[in-house]
Amino acid sequence: MEIGIIGGGGVAQTFGAALRGLGHTVTLGIRNATLAELDKPRQGGVPLAEWQQKTGGKVASMADAAKATLLVNATQGEHSIAALTSAGADNLAGKVLIDLANALDYTRGFPPALNQAYSGHTSLGEQIQGAFPQTRVVKAFNTIAAAVMVNPGLIKGDHDLFIAGNDAAAKAEVTDLARALGWSTVLDMGDITAARGTESLLPFWLTLMRAGGPIVNLHVQR
């Protein structure tokens, strides 16, 4: 499948490399896809020229990446709607968009809080769905570290991937992709408003991470 990941940071690189490993065609989309930009160091990842060489993936503009069949939002949450707007609503229309982003407020340093513009009686996932009504948004993968997103076996025992979205067929497609990445437990939390809950896990996840490192996840038992 052709997969376009909007974003070129550490998460986009890790997710994209894993999808390349599964045999997909992957294009990362960034704002300024010049040769000079591709050579720059990237926090949490490698220069994008090196990523291309190592993975066989491509780097292009956000609009070019969004021409793929299945899309992933891996941008900073507070800039996601701007990034997806520059990717082009027409390119996004009708497609599944996995939204793995979180909108965090670092104005008081680390650990960040939830960004109030995207929390409470709303969420980033809902705002993206509202801004792009023709797009089939599935909130997923935002509650775990990038290394775990693509390798759940890093954590022993049962642990869960939470997904949310309005379109059942889109969620089934994302579930299949997650299974291919090794996820055995994918919990459908409901429509896109359930992103309020999964995005709200972030402060707790950061607490867990500070207590014992980022290779950690939750498992729900009833």
Q: Are 3 and 72 in contact (CB under 8 A)?
A: yes
Contact characters 123-162, ligand NAP, x per CB under 6 A:
-------------------x--xx----------------
Tell me which of 75, 115, 119, 198 binds ligand NAP, using CB under 6 A: 75
Distance (Å, whole) CA 216 – CA 222: 20
Give me the least distance between CB of 62 and ligand NAP, in Å please. Answer: 8
Give me the least distance between CB of 180 and ligand NAP, in Å please. Answer: 19
Q: Are 72 and 6 in contact (CB under 8 A)?
A: yes
Residues 6 or more apart in contact with residue 156 via CB below 8 angstroms: none
Q: For residue 3, which phi and psi values (nearest 5 degrees)? A: -120, 130
Q: How many helices (H) and strands (E) does the chain have?
A: 10, 10
Residues 6 or more apart in contact with residue 94 via CB below 8 angstroms: 134, 135, 136
Nearer to ligand NAP by C-beta: 23 or 109? Answer: 109
Q: Could you say which residues in the range 34-53 bind ligand NAP, by CB under 6 A? A: 43-44
Contact characters 185-214, ligand NAP, x per CB under 6 A:
------------------------------
- Using the rule CB under 6 A, is 79 a contact of ligand NAP? yes
Tell me which of 4, 16, 57, 77 binds ligand NAP, using CB under 6 A: 77
- Using the rule CB under 6 A, is 7 a contact of ligand NAP? yes
Amino acid letter, residue 150: V
Tell me which of 4, 8, 125, 165 binds ligand NAP, using CB under 6 A: 8
